Amino acid sequence: MPGHNSRLRWLGQALAALVLVIGAAGPWGSAAWGTGARPGAAQKEAPAASAGAAKEDDEVRLGRQAAAALEREYKLVRNVQQLARLRRIGEEIAAVSDEPGYRYTFKILDTEEVNALSLPGGFTYVTKGMLSYVRSDEELAGVLAHEIAHAAKHHVRDLRRRESAANQYVIIGVLSALLLGRLHSSGLGNMLFGAEIVKTAYLNQYGQEAETEADRAGVEYLIKTGKYNPVGILTVIERLARDEERQAGPQLGVFRTHPPGRQRVEALESYLRAQNVSINRRAVQDQLRASARDTSTDDRSAAQVRLGEEVIYETAAGLPEAQRVAARLSQLILDGAEMRDVRVADDEVTVTLRGEALFSVTPADAALVGKPAAEVAQAAARTIAHLLWRAFVEQVS
Ligand SMILES: [Zn+2]
């Protein structure tokens, strides 16, 4: 029975779709920005029997089915470290969300597509591509906060309530496709966009409202964690919006549920300001964070100063000196230092930033790498300048 068959397939697609690829066009991000008490991870708290029963409602069941469909379609990444990071951050946010009682799950879809999605009931996914795309825990937290907000704010349930039973799967499929900002990208987009529906202005309207609410609620959750700087949401959306512009994909027209990138970015910026969040994009970029690493061996004492993944230089003065330099370097960058502010002083061994002596390469430091001190200083200055330049080019500064 071909009819029956194709209908099943269609239903399967719709279900998978209902998946709410809500995250898509790129909303989200966040960053460490303060300390504060935070509640323990909430999701462990299996609700008591009665509450649990209440939560396993139609909505959660639907989400569970869609999750199963999705996981038949996509392989999951089982990397222990990546999953631990994802769950740690996800659970911290879920605990302060509007629905802390859900049993949230956080999984990684094995695709290079940059995306994230959330299903009713708290089944949350990010793609492998998204994990590579984010530049800090704060940005990942922003993505997750946005997705968690869709579940915690019951966006799918509310959408379904607006529609007749007959339209529900269709609607959900459409919404998912719509919310998937990057329809032109493969994979998820194709699967979800399978249905050619026509529903629209209204769906559009709802979709935009849902996106705006998810962005805002995401910011609120992040603030509540007292740990993740919500500016991370902003920086991810900005980069995704920029990438979309460059890609010049198909015009989405009425199907464009995600607010156009720039408008969305501006709305977020205003919202962050209204929440008294200070917007410093550099604060949520690991590549612009300096750190110190002890590299001592039995024979010698030494420590590296790093900026992001790059080694700036190694000092024989040990870890405390490396930490001092790293802290000062981070601060000067946060304060807005640019590539042109990086110099080597007249003594040829002192690296300065904004006219301030950051460190001097000593003969002992130079001996560690077997090069002249002046050469080491030059290389260090070049590396710092290069990273600042890259940040500028990538518009995160
Ligand atoms: Zn969304």
pLDDT at 338 over 50: yes
Q: How far is CA 15 from CA 73, 172, 282, in A?
A: 12, 8, 40
What is the model's pLDDT at position 58?
81
What size, in residues, is the chain?
397
Cα separation, 266 vs 269, in Å, equals 5
197 closest CA partner among 213, 177, 212, 180: 177
When pLDDT is cut at 50, 70 and 90, the band that residue 317 belongs to is very high
From the CA of 19, how far away is ligand 1's center (Å)?
Answer: 11
pLDDT at 394 over 70: yes
What is the model's pLDDT at position 172?
56
Element holding 119 (H helix, E strand): strand 116-119
Q: What does DSSP assign to residue 325?
A: H
What is the model's pLDDT at position 293?
97
Q: Which residues are CB-neighbours of 243 under 8 A, at least 6 positions away?
A: 26
Residues 237/29, Cβ–Cβ less than 8 Å: yes
3-state secondary structure 209-249: HHHHHHHHHHHHHHHHHCCEECHHHHHHHHHHHHHHHHHCC
CA 268 to chain centre: 15
Q: For 197-247, what is each residue's pLDDT tens digit? A: 334 434 556 667 888 899 999 999 999 999 999 999 999 988 887 777 766
From the CA of 157, how far away is ligand 1's center (Å)?
Answer: 15
Read off the tokens for 106.
Answer: 């956080």
Cα separation, 54 vs 44, in Å, equals 17
What is the model's pLDDT at position 203?
55
CB atoms within 10 A of CB 110: 12
pLDDT at 103 over 90: yes
Average pLDDT (114-126) is 88
> What is the chain's mean pLDDT, rounded?
78
From the CA of 178, how far away is ligand 1's center (Å)?
Answer: 10
28 closest CA partner among 237, 170, 221, 201: 237
Q: For 58-101, what is each residue's pLDDT tens digit? A: 888 888 887 887 788 789 999 999 999 999 999 999 999 999 99
From the CA of 215, how far away is ligand 1's center (Å)?
Answer: 7
Residues 135/287, Cβ–Cβ less than 8 Å: yes
Residue that has been written with the tokens 């110099």 in this structure: 343
From the CA of 76, how far away is ligand 1's center (Å)?
Answer: 21
CB atoms within 10 A of CB 357: 13
Residues 54/89, Cβ–Cβ less than 8 Å: no
What is the model's pLDDT at position 395?
63
Residue type, 73: E
Cα separation, 363 vs 302, in Å, equals 13
Q: For 19-49, what is each residue's pLDDT tens digit? A: 333 333 322 222 222 223 333 333 344 444 4
From the CA of 287, how far away is ligand 1's center (Å)?
Answer: 26
Q: For 137-152, what is each residue's pLDDT tens digit? A: 999 999 999 999 989 9
Residues 303/276, Cβ–Cβ less than 8 Å: no
Q: Which residue has the higher pLDDT, 77 or 191?
A: 77
Q: Note the pTM of the prediction, 2 decimals.
A: 0.77
Residues 342/329, Cβ–Cβ less than 8 Å: no
What is the model's pLDDT at position 260?
60
Average pLDDT (323-343) is 97
CA 340 to chain centre: 30
Element holding 108 (H helix, E strand): strand 105-109
Residue that has been written with the tokens 């607006």 in this structure: 162
Residue that has been written with the tokens 């799967």 in this structure: 169
Q: Give me the residues paired with residue 310 across strands.
A: 307
From the CA of 392, how far away is ligand 1's center (Å)?
Answer: 28
When pLDDT is cut at 50, 70 and 90, the band that residue 257 belongs to is very low
From the CA of 38, how far away is ligand 1's center (Å)?
Answer: 25
From the CA of 382, how far away is ligand 1's center (Å)?
Answer: 40
Residue 160, φ and ψ in degrees, nearest 5 = -65, -35
Residue type, 336: G
Residue that has been written with the tokens 């649990």 in this structure: 52
Q: For 285-296, what is each residue's pLDDT tens digit? A: 999 999 999 999
From the CA of 301, how far away is ligand 1's center (Å)?
Answer: 50
pLDDT at 178 over 80: no
Cα separation, 93 vs 145, in Å, equals 6
Residues 271/216, Cβ–Cβ less than 8 Å: yes
